[in-house]
Amino acid sequence: MATKNLSEYNLASVPDASNMCFGIVVSEWNPEITGALLDGCVSTLEKHGAIPENIHVKTVPGSFELIYGAQQLSRNDGYDAIIILGSVIRGETPHFDYICQGVTQGIAHLNATNAIPIVYGLLTTNDLQQARDRAGGRLGNKGDECAVVAIKMAKF
Active site residues: 95
Q: Please give the DSSP secondary-structure letter assigned to residue 85.
A: E
- By the 10 Å C-beta count (0-12 exposed, 13-18 middle, 19+ buried), 105 is classed as exposed
Whether residue 126 contacts residue 100, with contact meaning beta carbons closer than 8 Å, is answered with no
Contacts of 22 by beta carbon, 8 Å cutoff, 6+ apart: 45, 50, 54, 55, 56, 79, 80, 81, 82, 83, 147, 150, 154
Whether residue 114 contacts residue 55, with contact meaning beta carbons closer than 8 Å, is answered with no
Report the distance separating Cα 126 and Cα 144, nearest Å. Answer: 21
Q: Which amino acid is at 105?
A: Q
